[in-house]
Amino acid sequence: MPSTLKGCGPHRSQNLRSRLLLLVTWLSLTGAAAAAGPDLAAASQMAAAGQYQAAFDLLNPYASEAKGDADFNLLLGEAALRTQRAEQAKLYFERSLAAAPDSVPAHLGLGRAYLALGDYARAKIEFETVLRFDDLPPSLQQQAEIYAKAALDYAQGSRLLSSGYAMVGAGNYRTNSTAGSVGGESDDNFFSARVGGSLNYELDNGYSLDGSLDYRYRNYDNSERRDDRDLRWNGAVSRSQGEGNLALGLRGRVSYRGNGNYRNDFGLYGNYSLRLDPDNQVAMGAEIRQRRYPVGPLRERTRNIAELTGSWTHSLLEGKASFTLAGQAGREFNTQRADGDANFFGLSPALNFTITDKLGGFVFAWWQNDRYNVERLGAEGDRLVGIGTRNDNLYEVGGGLTWQFLPSWSLNPEILYIRDQSNILANNYSSTEIWITLRLDF
């Protein structure tokens, strides 16, 4: 026994020294690596080559110590999102925004993370701090997906972002019998078509150029009813800053009114939207425009319109639904119509909701009160007794379903009821429309 122990002593001492040397070397190397910090350049190259898992593995060990680094968290958030770690990606994009509130890619990345989590309403609110697309489909999920496609294009280096759509449909237009309405009841089938799109070019420092076109056409079976043709356009400069987005622009429309007559709208507008928190967005706007009837018997209706708008959008059911309450108020002036100028105000609530991954729905209502300023003598049957001014209440109630049966393709059945109530009998009106539309978004 003593001889055996005596022979092993030097070997045990040598092994201990070797292990200590290895431990010191390892501690030195890891200490040097920690001191050097994360290699963002290498991680960026990996991400550019599509190696998001490798980029995530390289950066993730430093996540705790780099909480305040906007670029680090932006890159780690992108790597996490591309490797199906949406919840982690959401955290990293939020950290990036906390460090750099004006970051366009962080806003768009956070919106994509919300979408990956199935939080469509919050995704849309987040996207709209940067992007502005007009005439999106009524489906809340589809709206978020269209914004997400543009956001992904931006993440891949594109500055020009776009959305487009084409629609065809058929339906029935019924004029209801209303006291004082001209012509009584009527029932017409119609064919409709619509095409348009939006462009958004991202500049530096949060600025962007926005534009859209929208053409609508409706042809009725009844040859005595005019066909509807309407071209709408919009061009603006916008800037995102923190949780807000400000836009200034011009917009208008050219509408065919039958018998060779047209109506032209042209106006200057401003709009500011603000994300209060992930579940709430508010917006306010102002516009001055002219509604002009160049020739024909409707020329006296030409007028100027000054309008203020406001809205509040709230996310519901963990982002599967959203509620919006909008309001408007303004004045119509410089007109030659018999009832004179008018003040107006109104409200419009709307609810969008998701039923399944492919099926959604929406309901809305709209009300506006118009008060005119030229006194007139009420005709027989009018609610106006003696001399007074015209007072109208206008109502719309509608809703529909959205079925996305293939990627980018949807079927949309809808219904709309319109009711105009006036103390001047001849201005009472009511109609009901039912139609179905096939829509392609691209």
CATH code, domain with 435: 2.40.160
40-48 vs 70-82: helix crossing angle, rounded to 10: 30
pLDDT at residue 30, rounded to an integer:
45
Q: What is the pLDDT of residues 206-240, one digit of tens each?
A: 999 999 999 999 999 987 788 899 999 999 999 99
Strand partners, 322: 315, 352
In a domain, 65, yes or no: no
- Phi, psi angles (nearest 5°) of residue 93: -65, -40
In a domain, 179, yes or no: yes
Count: domains in the chain: 1
In a domain, 375, yes or no: yes
> Residue 35 pLDDT more than 60?
no
pLDDT at residue 429, rounded to an integer:
93
Q: Where do we find the tokens 């997906």?
A: 145
Are the beta carbons of 163 and 188 closer than 8 angstroms?
no
Strand partners, 356: none
- Alpha helices, DSSP H only, in 250-350? none
In a domain, 268, yes or no: yes
Strand partners, 305: 289, 332
In a domain, 71, yes or no: no
Of the ranges 5-14, 94-103, 289-298, 388-397, which one carries the lowest mean pLDDT score? 5-14
Q: What is the pLDDT of residues 100-145, one digit of tens each?
A: 999 999 999 999 999 999 999 999 999 999 999 999 999 999 999 9
Are the beta carbons of 208 and 239 closer than 8 angstroms?
yes
pLDDT at residue 258, rounded to an integer:
83
Query: What average pLDDT does range 71-91 have in this prediction?
Result: 97
Are the beta carbons of 241 and 206 closer than 8 angstroms?
yes
In a domain, 72, yes or no: no
pLDDT at residue 9, rounded to an integer:
52
Query: What distance in Å separates the CA atoms of residue 121 and residue 351, rounded to the nearest whole number?
Result: 11
pLDDT at residue 381, rounded to an integer:
76
pLDDT confidence bin for 163, thresholds 50/70/90: very high
Q: What is the mean pLDDT of the chain?
A: 91
Range of the domain at 215: 152-441
In a domain, 82, yes or no: no
pLDDT confidence bin for 378, thresholds 50/70/90: confident
Query: What distance in Å separates the CA atoms of residue 271 and residue 309, rounded to the nearest whole number?
Result: 9
Sign of CA dihedral 121, 127, 132, 135: negative
Identify which of 368, 363, 369, 328 has the alpha carbon closest to the alpha carbon of residue 349: 363
DSSP code, position 62: G
Please give the single-letter amino acid code of residue 29.
Answer: L
What percentage of the chain exceeds 90 in pLDDT?
Answer: 82
pLDDT at residue 36, rounded to an integer:
60
Query: What average pLDDT does range 386-407 have in this prediction?
Result: 96
Of the ranges 2-16, 25-39, 372-386, which one carries the lowest mean pLDDT score? 2-16
pLDDT at residue 419, rounded to an integer:
97
**50: which residues sit within 8 A by CB, 6+ positions away?**
none
In a domain, 225, yes or no: yes
Q: Is 121 exposed, middle or buried (0-12, 13-18, 19+ CB in 10 A)?
A: buried
pLDDT at residue 376, rounded to an integer:
85
